[in-house]
Structure 1
Amino acid sequence: MSVETVSPPSVAAAAPWWRATAFLLLAAGLMLGLALGVRHVQGLFLLPIAAERGWTRDTVAFAMAVQNLIWGIAQPFMGMVADRLGSWKAMLAGVVLYAAGLAGMALASSHLGFVAMAGVCIGIAQSGTTFGVVYGALSRMVPPAQRSRILGMAGALGGVGQFLMVPAAQALLSGVGWQQALLVFAAAMAVLLPFALPFRDLAPAGAGGTVAAADGQPLGAAIREAFAHRGFWLLNFGFLACGFQLAFIANHLPAYLRDKGLAPRDAMVALAVIALANIAGTYVFGWLGGRHPRKYLLAGIYLARTSAMALFVLLPLGAPTLYGFAAVMGFLWLGTVPLTSGIVSQVFGVRYITTLFGFVFFGHQLGSFLGVWLGGLVFELTRSYDPVWMGAMALGVVAAALHWPIDDREVVRGPWRAARG
């Protein structure tokens, strides 16, 4: 997994060590690992928070659902900040909000305050510390031939953080309780602040220089162009299924397993297996995305997820079934992200990749909102998660069908000024 040093287009060839691709990749991986790791273990907090506060599952799940929705709404706007002002500013804002949100989540005593911190504050924070901004910054650093592999490597490094976060969260929950655990996470998040700074002098898309596309296309025109592209909407609606599936599993699998008579340790191990397998899966799909049509790989991922969920629900539940399901789902977990981001940059270019991917990611987060919220609501109404599992499977089939006909050819446009004349 060697990484060649590739200077960003706006940086001179004799770049300092902290501007080398390998170091920027490490910084991006740390950002993704901690930001996504905290999100990955939220399901472990659902029952302890509900029990101590006297809330129902759907009450706590609603705050997590709002978090996903706010993340999706904020992502295009945070993308505009990154594209216009620089990715590092979006990252700094995200880190500060994340630390504040985790601390506020631990201290909030009312449901409204909890939703404001866990839902709104952390939702906005995730838009600056995860895929959209981080992958957008990396996409501008490397040539197209290396882009998919580099994004896959960043996702794999982030997966290491997710994996390590699971035993850390379980140890903190067992040792000091959920409130102190969240405060520890807030302090850890603050440590990420310096890792945004290496991206500081990389020219944003709107600042001129060679990062900007030669045609001089304005941001508004780029958004209109994307919205008029049929494949952009197919990608958006397909990504909704991804968000629904992953958010439902990450937030409700621990409670589902507890209802089935399994121990809390089984849920912790399952989430750890998902995170561990995700390391390999994200790298492999990033690598495959540089060699095969990404839309077909995405269709295959959604069909494979549907098959894995069907077997998990139908087979007798025990350790082999659970850990086998976790390994397969983990391998398929976030491999969709570098592939989806890769299609956006492949079709529309990298100038406004952060903004355009932000709009696509809204579809993902709308699905995440529905997966978390409906998971809690359906359980409270039926005392079962089975209808939600069925819905997740159906969405997987629909997503595969939507990705297959996407036109992933690069958009050909002439010089913007000439086109305007």
Structure 2
Amino acid sequence: MQPLSSIPCKRSAWWTQAWVLVLAGGLVMGLALGVRHVQGLFMLPMTQDRGWTRETFALALAVQNLVWGLAQPFTGMLADRFGATRVVAVGLLLYALGLAGMAWAPNAMALVLASGVCIGIALSGTAFGVVYAALSRLVAPQRRGWALGLAGAVGGIGQFALVPGAQGLIAGWGWATALGVLSVTAALLLPLAWPLNDRQAAAGAPGEALPLGRAVREAFAQPGFWLLNLGFGACGFQLAFIAGHLPAYLLDRGLRPADGVAALAIIALTNVAGTYAAGLLGARWSRKRLLAGVYLARSAAMALFLLAPLSSASLYAFAAAMGLLWLGTLPLTNGIVAQVFGVRYLGTLFGFVFLGHQIGGFLGVWLGGLVFQATGSYEPVWLAAMGLGVLAAALHWPIDERPLLRAAAA
């Protein structure tokens, strides 16, 4: 059966047009990933006001990454069964509650519950796991690479806008008010869940007759599925460590707070081009080889950053390079899962792959705080991030990207 987006008489309403779907999904991801991207800006003001250590704040972010990963397969199942609209709406509400809870949190446990558990679950319903699966079902296959890349680019613009926005709110009104404003913004985005109504498209996708349990067992029986999962863990480790600890690392090395803000903004801005390019390139070239190249390039960028004398210029060059490689792994990884297993249970299967990403994210952000607390240095974690990038490139190379015969027959 053709995707609904390729049948004009079924998708005539303006809110069902491809550009609306991409814009809605991109804005939701922009808020979800943008707030996550700027959480490092809250570390120092929150810990100083509350009297917490960096390890305490890092633990909350680590729990967030782990809960996000653990929740993603189940959130994906709900989206595959009931459609993305309800899941995204609930995710936005939980995001608003989690941010308000962070502003109120009087102790470390409350911070972990708000930032770690509540926002972790919220991210599983508002980030790429659910949004990319919905777009993959709602947009025709020949436009899938374009849709995923452009939605990621729109999300990247949102990330970029939130960096100076969050920093301005913190500087002008304090970190608690900044979190309150972000909480209200998440609630205001609720109407954007409506266009992502893919329930009918999921029901008509190839592989509809295949039970969910069998589809999951079939995926886990493929060596490539495990390799994709393990390699994705390196991505989570690198991104969570850099986003969570880079501002503090720069202050420790004598740079200004403005340099950390600028670096996160540059990452978010260049990520727009990188994610869009990854979506387009993935439609033409081997996705696994592109992924291997991304991981190797990240490791090289980190090595050059650590070896070069630290200055604003070297920092901005590093941020630009990392931004081009930042979230380009997501449309490529999601594309491999869709290419091999089909889109019927894409939310569920990508959710399991994403669990590996978030286990890596948990380790990256938590070990960053733990190692710094024990040694006063981030250097061991930088070295681990580089080594994992090389390992991820090697793990992706033998993945078989050919569609399963079952998917082709269906």
TM-score, normalised via structure 2 length:
0.97
SS of structure 1 residue aligned to 2:210:
coil
> Which residue identity does 1:48 align to in structure 2?
P
Q: Contact 2:287/2:336 (CA < 8 Å) preserved in 1? A: yes
Q: Contact 2:82/2:199 (CA < 8 Å) preserved in 1? A: no
> Which residue identity does 1:159 align to in structure 2?
G
SS of structure 2 residue aligned to 1:203:
helix
Indicate the residue corresponding to 2:75 in structure 1: 78
Separation in 1, partners of 2:285, 2:303:
27
Matched, 1:319 2:312: yes
1:178 offset after TM fit, Å?
A: 0.6
Q: Contact 2:25/2:196 (CA < 8 Å) preserved in 1? A: no
Describe the superposition over 1:48-106 as per-residue Cα deviations: whole angstroms up to 9, x where unpaired: 11101101101111001100000000000000000001111110110010000000110
Q: Contact 1:99/1:185 (CA < 8 Å) preserved in 2? A: yes
After the TM superposition, which residues 7-22 of structure 1 pair with which residues of structure 2 at under 5 Å, given as runs?
Answer: 7-8=4-5, 12-22=9-19
Separation in 2, partners of 1:177, 1:31:
25
Q: Contact 2:5/2:140 (CA < 8 Å) preserved in 1? A: no
Indicate the residue corresponding to 1:332 in structure 2: 325
Matched, 1:199 2:196: yes
Q: Contact 2:232/2:392 (CA < 8 Å) preserved in 1? A: yes
Indicate the residue corresponding to 1:3 in structure 2: none
Q: Contact 2:287/2:333 (CA < 8 Å) preserved in 1? A: yes
Query: Which of 225, 229, 241 pairs up with 2:218?
Result: 225
* Unpaired stretches in structure 2, ≥5 consecutive residues: none
Separation in 2, partners of 1:258, 1:14:
52
Indicate the residue corresponding to 2:261 in structure 1: 268
Describe the superposition over 1:291-338 as per-residue Cα deviations: whole angstroms up to 9, x where unpaired: 100000000000000000000011100011100000000000000000
1:192 offset after TM fit, Å?
A: 1.0
> Which residue identity does 2:197 align to in structure 1?
R
Separation in 1, partners of 2:346, 2:295:
24
* Unpaired stretches in structure 1, ≥5 consecutive residues: 1-5
Indicate the residue corresponding to 2:366 in structure 1: 373
Indicate the residue corresponding to 1:156 in structure 2: 153
> Which residue identity does 2:356 align to in structure 1?
G
Separation in 2, partners of 1:78, 1:378:
32
Indicate the residue corresponding to 2:375 in structure 1: 382
1:242 offset after TM fit, Å?
A: 0.2
Cα RMSD for the two superposed structures = 1.5
Separation in 1, partners of 2:397, 2:408:
31
SS of structure 1 residue aligned to 2:207:
coil
Describe the superposition over 1:260-295 as per-residue Cα deviations: whole angstroms up to 9, x where unpaired: 000000000000000000000000111100010000
Indicate the residue corresponding to 1:57 in structure 2: 54
Indicate the residue corresponding to 1:169 in structure 2: 166
Query: Which of 244, 247, 254 pairs up with 1:254?
Result: 247
> Which residue identity does 2:237 align to in structure 1?
F
Separation in 2, partners of 1:395, 1:135:
26
1:200 offset after TM fit, Å?
A: 3.2
Matched, 1:213 2:207: yes
> Which residue identity does 1:411 align to in structure 2?
L
Matched, 1:24 2:21: yes
Question: Percent of counterpart pairs with the same letter?
Answer: 61
1:387 offset after TM fit, Å?
A: 0.2
Q: Contact 1:7/1:21 (CA < 8 Å) preserved in 2? A: no
Separation in 2, partners of 1:129, 1:69:
16
Matched, 1:281 2:267: no
1:149 offset after TM fit, Å?
A: 1.9
Separation in 2, partners of 1:175, 1:145:
47
Indicate the residue corresponding to 1:351 in structure 2: 344
Describe the superposition over 1:25-45 as per-residue Cα deviations: whole angstroms up to 9, x where unpaired: 110011011111000000000
Separation in 1, partners of 2:272, 2:262:
16
SS of structure 2 residue aligned to 1:217:
coil
Separation in 2, partners of 1:204, 1:110:
45
Separation in 1, partners of 2:199, 2:348:
17
Query: Which of 165, 172, 181 pairs up with 1:184?
Result: 181
Report how many aligned residue pairs link the two structures. 408
1:201 offset after TM fit, Å?
A: 6.2
Structure 1 segments, 4+ long, off by >6 Å, are: 414-417
Separation in 1, partners of 2:113, 2:221:
35
Describe the superposition over 1:214-268 as per-residue Cα deviations: whole angstroms up to 9, x where unpaired: 5x10100000000000000000000000000000000000000000000000000
Distance 1:401 1:143, change over 3 A: same
Q: Contact 1:162/1:275 (CA < 8 Å) preserved in 2? A: yes
TM-score, normalised via structure 1 length:
0.94
Indicate the residue corresponding to 1:33 in structure 2: 30
Query: Which of 59, 65, 69 pairs up with 1:68?
Result: 65
> Which residue identity does 1:49 align to in structure 2?
M
Q: Contact 1:63/1:118 (CA < 8 Å) preserved in 2? A: yes
After the TM superposition, which residues 86-101 of structure 1 pair with which residues of structure 2 at under 5 Å, given as runs?
Answer: 86-101=83-98
